[in-house]
Amino acid sequence: MYTEKVMDHFMNPRNVGEIENAAGVGQVGNAKCGDIMKIYLDVEDEIIKDVKFKTFGCGSAIASSSVATEMIKGKTVHEALAITNKAVVEALGGLPPVKIHCSVLAEEAIKTAILDYGKKNNITFKELEGFNPTEDHHDHEEE
């Protein structure tokens, strides 16, 4: 049911932890399953120098956050904003359909952390126009 990649990231998640005085922090949750994901970013000149996460959730959410942190580390915030949950699923070699929403949490946690970074530094990201993670608008999750 789960790919080797999912199992690997679940058993040995990368970048677990917290960053003190992080440049941006994003926490999102899924109302239905109650799972919570928190992402911390260390940003310098719009480059994500470091990223850590804490996920209180299912294995797929842990694997999604782990692979997502690897995908954005060393990238610019704009490159990170372009990462969709679909890209996260692809990086994991696929997720079962009922677990797609777990990857949506990863996309939203990254966006929320960058939104926080933007707020703290008076930067508005065009990519985040209309983004509102607190709303239950997971209509793109079944893609």
Question: Does position 105 bind ligand FES by CB under 6 A?
Answer: yes
Q: Which residue is nearest to ligand FES (CB)?
A: 33
CA distance 29 to 36: 4
**13 belongs to the binding site for ligand FES (CB under 6 A):** no
As annotated, the active-site residues are 33, 102
Q: Is 33 in the site for ligand FES (CB under 6 A)?
A: yes
Q: Which of 30, 65, 69, 85 binds ligand FES (CB under 6 A)?
A: 30
Helical axes 100-120 vs 59-72, angle rounded to 10°: 40
Interface with ligand FES (CB under 6 A), residue total: 11
Print burial letters for 93-107: b (CB count within 10 Å at least 16), e (below 16): eebeeebbbbbbbbb
Give CA–CA dist 88/51, Å, rounded.
16
Candidate ranges 55-63, 89-97, 117-125, 128-136; the one touching ligand FES (CB under 6 A): 55-63
Report how far residue 5's alpha carbon sits from residue 131's, in angstroms, rounded to the nearest whole number. 29
Q: How far is the CB of 104 from ligand FES (least distance, A)?
A: 8
Residue 108 carries which side chain, given as an amino acid letter? E
In the complex with ligand FES, the residue whose CB is nearer, 51 or 105, is 105
Helix (H, G, I), strand (E, B) or coil at 57: coil
String marking each residue 65-104 x if it binds ligand FES according to CB under 6 A: ----------------------------------x-xx--
Compute φ and ψ for 40, nearest 5 degrees.
-115, 135
Binding site for ligand FES (CB under 6 A): 30, 33, 35, 57-58, 60-61, 99, 101-102, 105
